[in-house]
Every structure is written in C-alpha cells, then in structure tokens.
Amino acid sequence: MFDNYELPNPQFTEAEAKQLTLEHYGFMPVAIKPLGSFQDQNFRVTNSSGEAFVLRIENAAAQATSLDLQNQALTHIAAKDSAFPIQRLIPSVNGQTMPTTMRAGATHFLRLLTYLPGDVLAKVNTRPTHLLDSIGQVAGTFCLYLADFTHPAADRVLQWDLQVAQQVIDGFIKYVAAERRPIIEHFRQRFVRHAEPFLPSLRQSIIHGDLTSYNLLVQRDVTGRHMVSGIVDFGDVLRSYTVGELVVAVAESIINSVPNALPAAARTVKAFHQVFPLQENELATLFHFICLRMCVTACSSSQQLTLNPENEYVRELARLDWFTLERLQNIEPEVAHATFRHVCGFEPHPNAPRVRAWLNANAAQLHSMVSIAPNTPVLDLSAGSEYLNEGVWETAEMHRASLPIGESGALGRYGEVRLYASQKDSPEEPAALHLGVDVFGPSGTAVCAPLAGEVVKVAGGEIILRHAPVEGVIFFTRVAHVQAAEGLAAGASVAGGQILAHTLPARTDSFLPAHAHIQLACAEIESLPGMVPGMVPASERAVWESLCPDANLLLNHSGLQRAAYVAPAETMRRRFQVFQRAQEFYFEHEPLQIVRGWKQYLYATDGRAYLDAINNVAHVGHSHPRVAEAAAKQLRRLYTNSRFLYDGLAEYAERLVATLPEPLRVVFFVCSGSEANDLALRLARTYTEQKDVIVIDGEYLGNTSAVYEISTSLLDNPLAGKQARPFVHMAPQPNLYRGKYRREDPHAAENYAGEVREIVANVQAEGRGVAAFFTEALLGSSGGIDLPHGFLPKTYEYVRAAGGVCISDEVQVGFGRAGTHFWMFQTQGVVPDIVTMGKPMGNGFPVSAVVTTPAIAEAFRQKTTYFSTFAGNAAACQVGLAVLDIVEDEGLQENARVVGAYFKASLQSLMEKHALIGAVYGFGLYMGVELVRDRETKQPATEEAAYVAERMRHLGIIVYPTGDYYNILKLKPPLVFTQANADYFVAMLDRVLGEDR
Ligand code: PMP
C-alpha cells in the first residue's frame, strides 16, 4: 500500500539545478543550496536581486494530478488571503506551472516556489502557550480556507491519512518492540470503541494533512517570541476528516509543551476553534484521534529505526514519539474530551445538565446517605481559613488538631481549594480542589446508598455505585475513607437506603479526622472503577465541576453551601471599577489572589504555595506570630499617638539608636519610606538653608510631592523621572556592569565620585550650595546594584566639603539584609548624617523612621515642629521592637549573609549556561539578575524578563522585573529564605532560561 514510500531521491547536481533554473525560469542563480527532502530534491536558489526561491525536482514517480492538487491548493489559499504565509508558485518562462526535464529515461516535474524565511518548529525546544495558540490558529485557518476547495485528485491514499491509520498500524506493528505493542493496542482498541461510531458523521474536506513541526516555520515576533511564520510542503494535501488537520497540530503541540500535555492540547484546540469552530462529534473523537496519530508516527519511526538503526536523527524522533505516547497514556480520555469541550464553549460533560436536573427534580426521593444534625458546623479548609494559622497545615497531626469539630461532627465543602494540599517549592500545581463533600463524625458511622444502583467498585476504602434511574441519566456515587459493608461486591445491586459502609478511623498520616467523602460523578471515566479523583488541580475547576457536580445534590443538606469561588478576573474587574488604575499590580494577565502568607511563602486561592523572592517587607517572614501578637496585644490595650507618653516609644527609639553609630542619636518616627525621605529632605534643607539635591540616576525615593520630584526611576516616575528640574542633579548610576565606568576600570569608584564632585562644583559655580546627597548604599530600587567599593567615602567627602548633608536611604536594604552588617551604609564604611528607614521595620505594619545627628535635629527644632498622627503610635513601637528582637533571636542577619552568598554564587554559575544573564548584582539577601539580549550591546531583555517572571510564577516562585528597563529580576526575599529555597529558585530559573520562548 505504501510502496512508493521508499523511492530514491532524484540525483541532480547543483550545476544541473542551476542550469535548469536558467532554462525554465530565466535566471542563473547567484547562490544555490541543497535542502532536504524525503523523496524529491529541493534547492534553494537565489537570483541576482537577492530573492530566494525553492527549486523542486520531483521524484520520477510523481503524478501530475497530485502535483496539480498541491498547486491548486496553494493558489486557492493565496486567493483567499494574500498575506497567508505559504509559498507562491512561480510559472516558467513558458508560462507552465510544472515544466519537465528528462533524466535517465524518466521525466521529472520541476516547480519553482517562493522561499519562506524562518526555522522549522522542530528546532524550538519548547511549546509555550503563545506558540500553541499560533499553531492552533494556523491549523484552523487551513480548514477555513480549504473548506470550499475541491480537486479530482484529492481522494488519494497516503500513509499519514487518519482514514487509513489502523491499516498503517497493522502493517508496521511488527517493527515495534514487543513490550511496547500493548500500548499501541490499547490506544487502538479505545479508538475502535469510542471514536469509530462517530466516524461516518465527521466533516470531510481537503486539508494540508501534515502540519508537523518540520513543515511549520517559526520566526520571532518583535518581543522575541516564536510564532508560526510559514507553512510549507503541500505534498500530503488530501481529502480526509477535517478534524485531522487539528489532530496533527495537537500532536506536535504536546511534544515538549511548557504546560502539561492536556492543557497544551487544549490551548491549541481552543485557538483552532476560534478560527474554525469544531462540532461536538468532532470533539468526541479528537483525543482518540490524537492517540491514534501518535501510534502511527511511533510505528513509522520504529520501522524507520529498523531500516536505519544507526540514524541518530530517526532515533531521536522515535524517542519523542514514545515519550509523547507515554504522556498521552496518563490522560483520561473523558477528562480530555471534557477539557476540549470546555475550551470550545460547550458544557464539559455532555450529560451533566441532565444529571443535575434529574437530581434536583427528584431530591425528595433520595434516601439519606448519612445522618447529619441540622446545625452541624461547616469547616473552612481553604487557604484563607480563620483557624488554619501558623503553618498548622504543614503536618497531618497539627492540621487535624486545629479543626473545630465538636460533638455533632462537621461538614467539609465541595469546590473548596484546600490549604493542606499545597506544596512548597514544587513546580507542579497540587491537586487541591475538593470535588466531594465530607461528613466528619465518629468512625463507624453508617453510609447508605442514596438510590438504587449497581456496585462498580469496592476496594481500597472506597465504593462506587452506578445509577441509571431513567433513560439517558447515568451517574455515579463515590464514597471514600470507609469500610464496605460485609458481602458488598462489584456487580451487586443495592437498594436505596441500603447500608453501604461505615467510616474508618483516621489514619495518622491523614490531614482530616474520620469522615466519609461523598462524591458525585457524571463521567464514565474510562478506568472507572477507581479513577475518580477526590481532589484535582484548581486550574481544572470548570471541567471537573461538570464531571463531578456538587455532591450535595445527593445529600440535600440545607446547611451545606459549596465553597464560594470568585475568579481572579472578577476580583480584578471589581478592583478596576473603584480603584484607580495607575496603582499597578503584579501579573496582569493572570493576577494572583493571595490569601495567606507564612514565612517565605505566599498562598493563593489557586491552592499553591509560592516561594516569595520579592517581599523584603515581610522581613522576618510573613505572618510572624510574634509580630502579630505584639500588634494585637497593644491594639487591645492602647492605640494612641506620640503626643502622649508611653514607654514603648522611648524604648523603641533607644533600641534603634543602639544599632546605629555615633552621632546618629535622634529619632523621628514616620509611617512610610516616602515620609521618611520627605522629612529627611526637610531636615537637610532646614539645616543647610539650601535647596539643591544630588540623587543617583534610576533611584526612587517615595511618593510625596517633594520626594517624587527627586525620584529618577522610570519605573516609578515614568514621565518626569529623567526631566531636569533646576534643583535636582542626577549623578550617573555607579553601575560597574552597564554604567559610565565599568568593572575593567580600576578607578571606577573614584570616577563615579568625581562625577558628584563635578555636580557640586557646578552648583557652587552658580552661586548655590548643596542641601543633600541622597542614595541607597546598595541601589535597591534600581534592582539591587551594589556600589563600587570606596564610592561613598569619596562622595560623602565632596558633598560635605560643600556643606551638604549625606542621607542614606535604608528603606529597602536595612535591618540586617546586607548580611555582613545591620545597615547597608556600613558596608561602605561611612556614617551618614541622616538615615531613613521603612519597609521591613514593622514587617508590614506601617512604621518608619528618620534618624539624624543632634546638630541637624536641633537646627530643625529651632525653626519648626513636626507631628504625624500615626507615627510612633503605641502599636507600631511594639511591632518594631518585636522585629528587632526576632532578627536577633533567629539569627536572620547571619542567615542573610550565608544564604545570600550561596544564592549569589549559584546565580552566577548560571551565567555560564545562559547568555541571557548579563549580570548578577548585590549581596546579602538583596540581589538583581539583569537580563540582556546580547552581552556585547547589553540590550535590555525586557520582554524576556516579563516572560521569565510569568514562567517562574507557574513554577511556584514569585519574582518580578524592575529597573529603568524592567529587565532586572529583583531578589529580596524574607530573611528566613533558606539554601534549599535558593537551590529551588536557581533550578527553576535554569529550567526557564533553557526553554525556547
Ligand atoms: N525609598 C526607597 C529606596 C524605596 O524603594 C521606596 C519604596 N519602593 C521608598 C523609599 C518609599 O517607601 P514607601 O513606599 O514606604 O513610602
């Protein structure tokens, strides 16, 4: 049947091909390059104006009619859409579409086609979502454009046609290793059972039929992402199942997809459907077709491998085929079907509406499954639960003990994303969405059948009943964590109300006490009995809520409401209605709803524990119990302001001052970093009686009008950041990687300081003085950039010589984060005149401070006063004290030193592998990873950085870009960050940077 498959290619030389081009197409190629082909011969030929073409010399066995089919298909599509990226056929000088040439008594057809730029998709090592969309769109477009195309040669038999897939498998199965044949058989039988009945009803049309990763060309878009840019090789165009076009595209999508296989397939299907809507019968066959297609390619590659055992290329193809088949094996066809239906806008399980309607209408007829007292409490096991605090979800025992279950037992909710399922430092989404209801009570509680049914499973502590109360309504009841009633066995019929089982005592490794898990399922999931999961990843919610509707339809307990679910998009919509939009947020496309923080993790409504690499505010760890307790205790007793006397204020000020060198002895409390810098500016101006300020390019100092004006960060001050205001002087950023003076320059520090000296001189030349020089001692707001050694001592010298005040902004970087020192300025060996602090100071509670010298403070006092209602309030002082204690008691500064050094070294070692990393800045637990497109030009990799952040978030890590070019991943985690966290972060960054985008 497929004899012509192994035809030898034509053997024309390059010189002959050039001559043929001249003869038939009227130009002598200035360049020629052979291109690969299965059975023909292809040359890339370039004319004297640099235009490239593909000269095809067809196999001698090629039929004129099938070549005409290809040509007509190209022309048909080009007529519909002149921009569609397919090749154009160039007629010969005689106006022929296919001139011929003779060789050794055989006739060869020639064709000249335009050359499409791009790489084959096969060279792209991953399939991120935008590429999946692009593949799906292209496949859909083919179906759309070819829907009305006809050709007499289209009904031909080709090996890759899904209509003959089973014959191909039959023919080639002998090449497949014996131990692998059962996989093929399994998929094939499933196809016969579940897809074949639909075949007669499927749409047929002419399709490209071979949208594989060798025929799809890709190019990078303006943001550097791969998109399908061309489709070549119409050699397999034929009439077949229309859906076959998508089948091939999906099979190519799931190889090395960034999402798991099913979400990746669904993405391609959705994009296809948006262009060319699928029908329900097509969707019913789709997954089985995909499996069958992979069986065909796996059998074919086994055959190829048998013929060419040494061919590494064929070996790699075979490996990918089997790898993909294994991925497919782990997908339940009913789940795949429901998922495809969902992305195409259909109810995921076709029977779900009928099942829900029947149960609603017949509620009164159902027997009580388990007795539940009317006021039985309903538990909240979600991440936002009131009583799940301080990490109790991390061990089964603590979690069980935390649940408020009294005499009357308790109920657990359907549709709840449960905290105990979260996994720390895990790239996979956990199965956290609960699909049943739980009835908690003493072990040994009886559970009965809600209505008559047939037992389909009794094993492993679970029972599954099948119900078919009326024609067309089929559903299943699943009861888990129970001991089956004696004698109950698969195949038995049970009556409504019959005792099925009794609850078992909780196992010691169970997060829940004794309970019956009761679940409803519409799906006759293929491997049922046994494969209705009790919990699934929350991202699959829509599909599973249809496959397994609310089990309270079986119980009808009025006090049991399903867990409320608000989609992040809805929260965002509400937010935008009332919250001004300039207030930005993280992950615009997939916003996170964080409901809990604990130590270095953030917990979202999606059931995941995200490793927090950016919240330096949660200095001692999120939700530290000692901080919470300090605030709560004081708030219960007294909350007032500093116009009254309370001990905490003085005590806290003393403790702060004790961390600082002389003469920094006078404290002002404020409420935010902005206010601290604002007040520092006032102090400096009052003291010096000057207005001019020197700041570092790219730095942010806060949001009050005064300090916003002196902020030069484009990220925070996009419009005016770099605009010259007469009294603001921007010194070049002392950045040894991309700044004015670089690592190679042994005098970089002095040269940067010299720039400040020059600014000072210029100001003085205009008859004014300098009020203040503001900087962070490690440029946190610019992305964690460490200053050249010796920069600050020199700069301070120049500023002070002109009478200016030196201000160190420790808002981001203070309180032990440097590792070696408590304050960042200490790493430069200087003592500022004013220190401002904030963010980590109250671990999130708004407390900030300015500390200065008695001389500056006194000058201020003589001229003015200062008061802030909330500053230094009684609760803030207690919280601040607690933070200082914790940093000390838990050795967090030392942790920042040790883990920071380890983390930095690991990040630096990634630079050897990934050219995208241009620099790793910083030290302690404040670092920045700068991404560049080119290490020579240092072109910022802005879009790449955004993409990396999104991917890291999918892998359970929160990190975000910053800097004037949004291309520096800032790393400033809570100080409880561990070496294991650093390892996880680096492993995931390594993975993401290794993925093509
Ligand atoms: N200084 C620096 C260096 C900062 O990064 C910030 C905030 N990003 C501030 C001051 C202002 O602090 P706040 O947001 O608490 O007002």
Condensed to tens digits (0 to 9), the pLDDT of residues 23-68 reads 999 999 999 999 887 788 999 999 999 999 999 999 998 899 999 9
728/759 Cα distance (integer angstroms): 10
Helices and strands (H and E) in the chain: how many? 26, 40
- Is the confidence at residue 587, as pLDDT, over 80? no
249-282 CB burial, b ≥16 within 10 A, e <16 = bbbbbbbbbbbbbbbbbbbbbbbbbebbebeebb
Q: Which of 678, 714, 781, 817 to mutate to test the pocket of ligand 1 (most atoms within 8 A of CB)?
A: 781
- Is the confidence at residue 207, as pLDDT, over 50? yes
Those residues whose C-beta lies under 8 Å from the C-beta of residue 888, and which sit 6 or more positions away, are: none
Supply the DSSP symbol for 369.
S
- Is the confidence at residue 359, as pLDDT, over 50? yes
Are 45 and 24 contacting, i.e. CB atoms less than 8 angstroms apart?
Answer: no
Over range 350-354, report the average pLDDT.
95
- What integer pLDDT is reported at residue 3 of this predicted model? 46
- What integer pLDDT is reported at residue 4 of this predicted model? 45
Dihedral angle of Cα 58, 61, 65, 68, to the nearest 10 degrees: -10
Supply the DSSP symbol for 516.
E
Helix H or strand E segment including 709: helix 705-709
Structural Rg of the chain based on CA atoms:
35
Name the token pair of 970: 């800032």
Q: How confident is the model at residue 7 (pLDDT cuts 50, 70, 90)?
A: low
Q: How close is the Cα of 943 to the center of ligand 1, in Å? A: 25
245/162 Cα distance (integer angstroms): 10
- What integer pLDDT is reported at residue 718 of this predicted model? 79
Q: How close is the Cα of 387 to the center of ligand 1, in Å? A: 34
* pLDDT mean across residues, the chain: 94
| Nearest residue (CA) to ligand 1, atom 5 | 781
Are 809 and 774 contacting, i.e. CB atoms less than 8 angstroms apart?
Answer: yes
Name the token pair of 549: 């509707």
The 10s digit of each residue's pLDDT in 407-461 is 889 999 999 999 999 999 999 999 999 999 999 999 999 999 999 999 999 988 9
Q: How confident is the model at residue 527 (pLDDT cuts 50, 70, 90)?
A: low
Closest to 691 measured CA to CA, from 811, 855, 805:
805
Q: How close is the Cα of 883 to the center of ligand 1, in Å? A: 19
- Can you say how many angstroms the Cα of residue 559 is from the centroid of all Cα atoms in its chain? 38
Q: How confident is the model at residue 529 (pLDDT cuts 50, 70, 90)?
A: very low
- Is the confidence at residue 581, as pLDDT, over 80? no
- What integer pLDDT is reported at residue 284 of this predicted model? 97
Long-range contacts of 715-722 (CB under 8 A, 24+ apart): 715/962, 715/963, 715/964, 715/966, 716/781, 722/697
- Can you say how many angstroms the Cα of residue 572 is from the centroid of all Cα atoms in its chain? 18
- What integer pLDDT is reported at residue 602 of this predicted model? 98
Q: How close is the Cα of 703 to the center of ligand 1, in Å? A: 8
Are 234 and 158 contacting, i.e. CB atoms less than 8 angstroms apart?
Answer: no
Name the token pair of 629: 């307790």
- What integer pLDDT is reported at residue 717 of this predicted model? 77
379/420 Cα distance (integer angstroms): 13
Sign, CA dihedral 280-269-77-152, equals negative
- What integer pLDDT is reported at residue 577 of this predicted model? 85
- Is the confidence at residue 148, as pLDDT, over 60? yes
Strands 666-670 and 848-852: antiparallel
Phi and psi torsions of 674, nearest 5°: -60, -45
Q: Which atom of ligand 1 is nearest to the CA of 848?
A: 15
Supply the DSSP symbol for 6.
G
Q: How close is the Cα of 917 to the center of ligand 1, in Å? A: 27
Q: How far is CA 352 from CA 270, 338, 347, 520, in A?
A: 21, 11, 8, 11
Q: How confident is the model at residue 647 (pLDDT cuts 50, 70, 90)?
A: confident
Those residues whose C-beta lies under 8 Å from the C-beta of residue 296, and which sit 6 or more positions away, are: 159, 160, 165, 168, 169
The 10s digit of each residue's pLDDT in 75-108 is 999 999 999 999 999 999 999 999 999 988 899 9
Q: Which of 614, 697, 701, 970 to mutate to test the pocket of ligand 1 (most atoms within 8 A of CB)?
A: 701
- Is the confidence at residue 344, as pLDDT, over 70? yes
892/624 Cα distance (integer angstroms): 13
Partners of 695 in beta bridges: 730
- Is the confidence at residue 582, as pLDDT, over 90? no
607: left (phi over 0), alpha (psi -120 to 50) or beta: left
Helix H or strand E segment including 569: helix 568-578
- What integer pLDDT is reported at residue 12 of this predicted model? 94
- Is the confidence at residue 680, as pLDDT, over 70? yes
Name the token pair of 752: 């940067």
Predicted TM-score (pTM) of the model is 0.94
What percent of the residues of the chain are helix, what percent strand, and what percent coil, each to the nearest 5? 40, 20, 40
- What integer pLDDT is reported at residue 37 of this predicted model? 79
Q: How close is the Cα of 730 to the center of ligand 1, in Å? A: 18
Are 661 and 860 contacting, i.e. CB atoms less than 8 angstroms apart?
Answer: no
Are 325 and 295 contacting, i.e. CB atoms less than 8 angstroms apart?
Answer: yes
Q: How far is CA 485 from CA 83, 370, 492, 516, 551, in A?
A: 68, 14, 12, 14, 21
Name the token pair of 667: 């404290």
609/591 Cα distance (integer angstroms): 15
Are 53 and 87 contacting, i.e. CB atoms less than 8 angstroms apart?
Answer: no
Name the token pair of 884: 């200082």
